[in-house]
Amino acid sequence: MGMDRNTVIGFVLIGMLLIGMFYFNSKGNQAYLAEQKRITDSIAKTKPKIDTVALTRDSLNADTIRKIQSAAGFQEFVNRPEQLTTVENDVMKITFTNKGAQPKVVELKKYTTFSGKPVVLQSGTFNKISYDINSGDQQTAQTSDLTFAPAIITANPDKSQTIKFTLKDSSGKKEVSHQYTLRPAEYMIDFSIILEGADQLVTKNSFSLLWQAQIPQVEKDITYEKQQSHICQVKEGSYDFEMLGSGDTKKFDKPVDWIALKQQFFITTLINKNKFPSAEVKWTVPADTSRHVIAEATANLRIDVPVGRSAQIPLQLYYGPSDYHILKTYHSQLENIVPYGSGVFAFVKYINRYFLLPVFDFLRSNVASMGIVILLLTLFIRLLTSPILYKSYVSGAKMKALKPEIDKLKEKHGEDKQAFSMDQMKLWKSAGVSPLGGCLPALLQIPIFMSLYYFFQSNISLRGESFLWAKDLAAYDSIYNLPFEIPFYGDHVSLFTITATLTSLLISIYSMSSMQDNSNPVMKYMPYIFPVLLLGVFNKLPSALTWYYTISNTITLILQIVIQKYIIDHDKILAQIELNRKKPVKQSKLQEKIQAMQDANKKVQDLKTRTKRN
C-alpha cells in the first residue's frame, strides 16, 4: 500500500504507522523524395497505386517515408484511412481502430469519475499494442503503422462477440490477424495474434511486443491516487508490485504471467496465457497534475512463437475495476492486485479476504446505507474483541489497586531505580499481576486495526457511496475547502477526521487516570500531541476509515467507562491480590535466572555504595 510521509509518521505512533513520447517532424530533401517517388512508381506497376500526389500535398515527412520503406510487401496498408469499430457488453464499451488492429478507447459503463464523467481507461495516442513483422528482405514493419482490413464482427452462440482484423501481404503468403472476443458482462477480453507464414513473419520464433498504457486520473485527489497506484506483475508464479514513485525501469529475466497498471480502483492488464519469457517495463510520472495523467508505462514483452507456418499467441486484456470478487474468478492471481495487506502487514490480507470481506458483503446485501454497514461492522468487531479489552482493563484495575504500594516503593528507594524495579517486580509477582497484562491485549488488536486500514482504502464497494456529509466514502470528506494549504494538514477540513481525533483525545485523557505514573512528561503530554498528529495523517484518508475510527473510539470509550465503573469490582480485585500473596510464588527457570541477575547487580551496587562511603 502506498504510504506518504504523514502515513509513515502515523504508523509509527499508532503501531509504536508517472515516456512522454518524443515526436519529431523533419522534411526530407528533394533528392530523397525524388528517389522515393522512383521506388514507389516502380512498385506501383504491379501493386495498387499509392496516391503520391496526395502524399506530396500532405507534406510527406521522414517518418511516413520510413513506414512505407519498411512495410515493403505491406506498403499498401500504410496510408489507408482509419476506420473505427465499436462493440460493447453490459459493463464496457470498446472502440477498436484498424490502425494497428487494437483498442483505441475503453469506457466502463458502471463507473464514473469524481466529476461525473464516464471512466475511460484507454484513450489518446500514447496507448499502443505493436510488434515488428518481417515485411521483406531485411525489412521490418511495426503493426501499429499498418492499417488492417475493416473489422469483421461475429456473434457467437454463447452471446459473446468476436472482432477480427486481418492483414495480408502482396504475395498472399503472409497474413496477420488480431482477434478479440468480448463476453457478456465481462471485463476480460480474449486477444489472439494469429500468424500465417509465421516462419517468415518473425525471426528466431520470437518477437518483442510493445505495450503502452496510461493511468488516467479518476478520483478527486490525484496525489493520493498516485500513492495508491502500482505497477503489478506475476513473475515466476509469485505476485509483486512496484510503487510509482517518480518513475523507474524494471527488467524481468524470468517468465512473467502478466503486467498490470493499477490505479486506486481500476486496472489495465496484459496477460499471456503462455507467459512472457522476459520483460522490461519503464514508467514515468508527470509532475504536471493538470495533465490528469497519473503515469505512463511502456512494456517490451518477449513472446515466443510456436515453430511452424501457422501460429497463434493467446493473450488477454483486462480493463476493469479492482474488485476482489471479479478478479478471483480468473484464477490467475489477479486478486492480489487488490491491496488488502502488504509489506510487514501482508498477513492481514487473509483477515480481510476470509473474515472482514464476507461479513461486510453480508451486511451490504441486507443494509441500504453503506455508512450503517460500517457502523454494524464496527459493532461486530468490537463485540469479538471485547474479551481482550476486558482482560486489558482488569489488568489496568489491578495496577491501579497496587498504585499506593508502588508509590511507597518509590519513596523508599528514591533515585535507586534498580532497587525500585526489583521490589516492583516482586510486588507484582506476589499479587499475581503481569506487567504485560495490559500491553499484550492492545498489541493483539493491531492486526485488526491494520486490516481495516487496508480494507477501507481498497474496497471498491465504498466508491461513490455517500453518508451524512461525505459524498464519497472512498475519498476524504470535506466540509470546507481552504484557500491555502497548511503543511502536514492539507487544504480542506474533514469533519470525520475531527470526530475521530476528538474521540481519540477523550480516550487518552480518560486512560491517564488509571496510569501508575503520570509524572513522565512524554506520557503526560502524549494524549494532546497524538491527536494533532492524527489530524495530519487522517485528513486525506477515505471517510469510510475515519468514520470507522469515530465509531470505534466512541464504543471503546463507552466500554471503558462501563467496564471500569460498573463491571470490575475493585474490592474483589484487592481481595484476590491478597489471596495471591498468600500462595507460594512459582518461578520458571527463566524467571529464576532474571532474579539471580537482579540480585547480583544489586550486590554490586551495594558494594560500590559502601566503597564510596569509606
pLDDT band (50, 70, 90) for residue 113? very high
As a three-state string, the secondary structure of 410-449 is HHHHCCCHHHHHHHHHHHHHHHCCCCCCCHHHHHHCHHHH
Q: What angle do CA 465, 470, 472 make, to 5 degrees?
A: 35
pLDDT attached to residue 174: 86
pLDDT attached to residue 67: 54
pLDDT attached to residue 312: 94
Q: What percent of the chain has pLDDT over 70?
A: 74
Q: Which three cell numbers stand for residue 338?
A: 487488490
- What is the pTM assigned to this prediction? 0.78
Q: Which three cell numbers stand for residue 345?
A: 502487514
pLDDT attached to residue 422: 75
pLDDT attached to residue 535: 86
Q: Is the pLDDT of residue 28 over 50?
A: no
Q: Which residue has the cell 480518560?
A: 510
pLDDT attached to residue 138: 74
- Rounded distance, CA 592 to CA 581, Å? 18
pLDDT band (50, 70, 90) for residue 557? confident
pLDDT (mean) for 483-501: 90
pLDDT attached to residue 20: 35
Q: What architecture does CATH give domain 84-337?
A: Distorted Sandwich (2.70)
The H or E element that residue 398 is part of is helix 370-401
pLDDT attached to residue 35: 44
The H or E element that residue 130 is part of is strand 128-136
The H or E element that residue 140 is part of is strand 139-142
Phi, psi values for residue 336, rounded to 5°: -65, -15
**Using one digit for the tens of pLDDT, what is the confidence trace for 225-237?**
999 999 999 998 8
User: Which comes out higher in pLDDT, residue 255 or 422?
Assistant: 255
Q: Is the pLDDT of residue 207 over 80?
A: yes
139 forms beta bridges with 136
Q: Is the pLDDT of residue 278 over 90?
A: yes
pLDDT attached to residue 209: 95
503, 504, 509, 514: CA torsion to nearest 10: 110
Q: Is the pLDDT of residue 170 over 90?
A: no
**Using one digit for the tens of pLDDT, what is the confidence trace for 1-17?**
434 433 334 444 444 44
**Using one digit for the tens of pLDDT, what is the confidence trace for 172-188?**
788 999 999 999 999 99
**Using one digit for the tens of pLDDT, what is the confidence trace for 576-612?**
666 665 666 555 555 566 666 766 776 767 676 667 6
Mean pLDDT computed over every residue of the chain: 80
Q: Is the pLDDT of residue 103 over 50?
A: yes
pLDDT (mean) for 499-523: 72
Q: Which three cell numbers stand for residue 71?
A: 512495410
Q: Where are the domains of the chain?
A: 30-77, 84-337, 370-573, 584-613
How far CA 591 is from CA of 369, 417, 426, 603, in Å, comes to 54, 20, 11, 18
